[in-house]
């Protein structure tokens, strides 16, 4: 199959998507953590995700913490139904985590930093 050069001003979306997927694990992680005030649950979520980022994504992450009470406009379009909520925007696929983020194994698997265990494996 012959490849066609994109016309001037037109981006080959499929090629761009495939390239982004290929670079996925090497590229930076873009994370947004939505919290509701400075409650103990919010503080635990912030501490948990910061620990994960520092230990497993050193130098490869952008973490934005957003207080939904102080910056409600930043939640528009994000479908935040509970807080804390962590959204992994990049690399694809988009993922959402709800709760205090204390289940480290679930977070690492969800961020594609650790492979999923098969149902037959024991801890």
Cβ–Cβ under 8 Å, residues 83 and 36: yes
Q: How far does CA 67 lie from the centroid of its chain?
A: 17
| Other Cβ atoms within 10 Å of 33 Cβ, number | 22
Q: What is the pLDDT along the chain (123 residues), one digit of tens a residue?
A: 444 444 554 555 565 555 554 554 557 999 999 999 999 999 999 999 999 999 999 999 999 999 999 999 999 888 899 999 999 999 999 999 998 898 999 999 999 998 877 655 444
Cβ–Cβ under 8 Å, residues 87 and 32: yes
Give all domains of the chain, ordered by start, each with its CATH number.
Answer: 29-110 (3.40.30.10)
| CA 10 – CA 17 distance, rounded (Å) | 14
Note the pLDDT of residue 114.
Answer: 86
Note the pLDDT of residue 123.
Answer: 45
Note the pLDDT of residue 37.
Answer: 95
Length of the chain: 123
């Amino acid at each position: 199959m012959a490849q066609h050069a994109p016309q001037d001003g037109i981006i080959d979306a499929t090629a761009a998507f495939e390239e982004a997927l290929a670079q996925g694990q090497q590229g930076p992680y873009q994370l947004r953590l939505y919290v509701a005030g400075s409650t103990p649950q919010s503080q635990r979520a912030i501490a948990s995700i910061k620990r994960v980022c520092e230990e497993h994504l050193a130098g490869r992450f952008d973490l934005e913490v957003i207080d939904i009470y102080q910056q409600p406009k930043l939640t528009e379009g994000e479908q935040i139904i509970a807080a804390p909520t962590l959204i992994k925007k990049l690399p694809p696929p988009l993922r959402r985590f709800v709760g205090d983020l204390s289940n480290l194994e679930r977070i690492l698997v969800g961020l594609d930093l650790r492979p999923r265990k098969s149902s037959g494996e024991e801890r």
